[in-house]
Structure 1
Amino acid sequence: ENKRDLTFLTSLPGAAEKLKIFSADLNDPNSFDAAIEGSKAVLHVATPLSFDGKESLEAVTESAATVIYNGQEMDMMDESFWTDVDFVTQKLNPKTHPYLISKTFTEREVLAFGTQHGLDVVTVNPGLVVGPFICPRFPDSVRSSLALVLDVKGRYNCSSNTISLDKLSEFLRGKYPEFPIPSPE
């Protein structure tokens, strides 16, 4: 089994009493059962993306997908910008439709649910998150992100620029030819 060193988590104060590590697979919804047993609510919005129907590109979780795909060239965006689902289905690569649309619908619904039920809901839209979060130290970016959401609610876009998945793949393949970077095509 693919095990990672989690001592940076398990050695946190109170971890022995409060922290339990679970393994789950985005493509197997039942694999989350043990982790959520006894919970009152779970909002899990990770979306696997498959380029060839066999491999999922879980390393790319582009939450900005709820914001940037609307057919307009923009230098600046704010929290009022949303992906235009009609534009996505008519103009973009069909292999990315489920990902972009599910991210957009999920964020809209969780914000509406929070409003309807009096819950303080925060959605954070980082420009791009690549790779696993499991790391040897608490990343500064995560610390900064947490500072944004303490005692706040609403929606925060955290990217000054945008890049399509096609262009990102092209860039990464050029910069790191030794790695198998998938293409949406």
Structure 2
Amino acid sequence: MKGSHEKTVCVTGTTGYIGSWLVRSLLQQGYHVHATARDPEKASRMLSTLEGANRLKIFRADLNEDRSFDEAVKGCVGLFHVAASMEFGTSVKENIEDHVRRNILEPAVRGTRNLLQSCVRSGTVKRVVFTSSISTITAKDETGDWKPVVDESCVTPANLVWKTKNSGWVYVLSKLSTEEEAFKFAKENGIDLVSIIPPTVAGPFLTPTVPSSLQVLLSPITGNPKFYPILVSVHSRLGSIALVHVEDICRAHIFLFETSEAAGRYLCSVGSCTIPQIVDLLSSEFPNLISTRFEEEFNRSAPSVISSEQLLDLGYRFKYDVKDVIKESIQSCIRNGLLDN
């Protein structure tokens, strides 16, 4: 799909971190963008001042409403499905699994199907790029040992997620089930679909509040009791924290849309760090901010290599390294008042 500039694409989840920056990136590259959001006024406040906003249209759409996306995808050659349920757990104490299935997973799967049915009805959508999550990936094998290399094939077993119910387990199940449904529906209906697997995304942001992924990454500085356990949970599953700059993950979305040979799943991580290594990087960039009280809990070296070889073999190249991601994340949070310089 090289040369798709000046064509129209649809983006879901445009009031979120990746979705809003993806709209920005697409406009910068000359695309016409149909941005969808449950709250179009919020989307307008965030996106209407972007460079190229004369090529932007905002639509109200809700994954839980049949045909809600019909108008937004009409005339589009591509769809970037970034929107996702952000339920990480549940406060329900009884019949937990049944509650999660009926109230979170089934609506999420139904919403994915609703969206893709709109693509089929449009008759114009040529490719769908589905935003997955590194929560669908594990670095441990079936015996619990670390795999030397972690790639797209290292899928987190859903039955293990149900059994352990670790931090964020509901989100993991939602991502696993919606991606599975997306590929199944695409195959049955002749849709060309690829998925991209973001790790912890960080850097600058357009959202009015600090994205949760940045708050997780910077929790060794802030000591936030809500977000630090999530960082620990990711570290325990992967052996390190895989990172990518928000601009790079958005460029990779567009790259996969434009590259006709792309197929299947693509992990998009520029590199990874253990929590002590993150602390070292934070300390070297901003020594007055850092607290080292977390370091003792972890080994300093990662047991597994988190590989984006498949994406690199396709021709993609990262613009920002791990140090850039850390530095720009802190600078963005200082500018937005999360951190004091």
- Shorter chain as denominator, the TM-score bin is 0.5 to 0.7
Q: Is 1:19 aligned with 2:47? A: no
Distance in structure 1 (CA, Å) of the matches to 2:204 and 2:177: 24
Native 8 Å contact 2:252 2:268 kept in 1: no
Tell me how far 1:96 sits from its aligned partner: 1.8
Matched, 1:158 2:230: no
- Return closer, same or farther for 1:65/1:174 CA change in 2, 3 Å cut-off: farther
**Alignment match, 1:124:** 196
Contact 1:75–1:161 under 8 Å retained in 2:
no
The answer to whether the 8 A contact 1:68-1:83 is kept is yes
| Distance 1:117-1:88 versus aligned 2 partners, 3 A rule | same
Residue type of the alignment partner of 2:168: T
* Superposed structure 1 runs of 4+ greater than 4 Å apart: 32-35, 39-45, 50-53, 69-72, 130-133, 160-163, 171-176
Worse-superposed segment, 102-111 or 78-87: 78-87
1:87 matched to 2:127? The reply is no
Contact 1:69 1:87 in 2 (8 A): no
- Pairing partner for 2:256 from 106, 129, 148: 148
Q: Cα RMSD between the aligned structures?
A: 4.5
Aligned-pair identity (%):
30
Alignment correspondent of 1:139 = 247
Change (3 A) 1:33 1:47: same
Q: Post-superposition shift, 1:104?
A: 0.8
| Equivalent residue number for residue 49 of structure 1 | 87
Say which of 106, 110, 114 aligns to 2:182: 110
Residue aligned with 2:153, SS: coil
Structure of greater relative contact order (alpha carbons < 8 Å, 6+ residues apart): 1
C-alpha distance 19-156 of structure 1, shift in aligned 2 (>3 A):
same
Residues 174 and 149 from structure 1, CA distance in 2 versus in 1: closer, same or farther, beyond 3 angstroms? farther
Residues matched between the structures, number: 156
Q: Is the 8 A contact 2:249 2:268 kept in 1?
A: no
Q: Which residue of 57, 63, 80 corresponds with 2:133?
A: 63
CA change 1:141–1:45 in 2 (3 A) is closer
In structure 1, the partner of 2:69 is: 36
Seen in structure 2, the aligned counterparts of structure 1 residues 39 and 87 have a Cα distance that, compared at 3 Å, is: same
Residue-by-residue CA offset, 1:148-183 (whole Å, 9 max, x unaligned): 3322231111235488xxx7xxx799589x959xxx
| Residues 75 and 62 (structure 1), Cα distance of their counterparts in 2 relative to 1, 3 Å cut | farther
Q: Give the TM-score normalised by the residue count of structure 2.
A: 0.35
Distance 2:68 2:201 in 1: 23
Q: Which has the higher strand share?
A: 2
Deviation at 1:40, TM superposition (A): 5.9
Q: 1:69 to 1:100 in 2, by over 3 A?
A: farther
Q: Is the 8 A contact 2:197 2:266 kept in 1?
A: yes
Instruction: Give the structure-1-normalised TM-score.
Output: 0.59
- In structure 2, give the amino acid aligned to 1:142: C
CA distance in 1, matches of 2:49, 2:85: 27
3-state SS of paired residue (2:170): helix
User: Runs of 5+ in structure 2 lacking a partner?
Assistant: 1-40, 92-130, 208-245, 283-289, 293-329, 331-336
For structure 1, the residue ranges without an aligned partner over 5 or more in a row are 54-60, 181-185
Q: Deviations over 1:49-85 (max 9, x none)?
A: 34685xxxxxxx9811112275442331222221111
2:115 counterpart of 1:7: no
Separation in 2 of the partners of 1:5 and 1:149? 22
Higher fraction of helix: 2
Residue 97, structure 1, aligned to residue 169, structure 2: yes
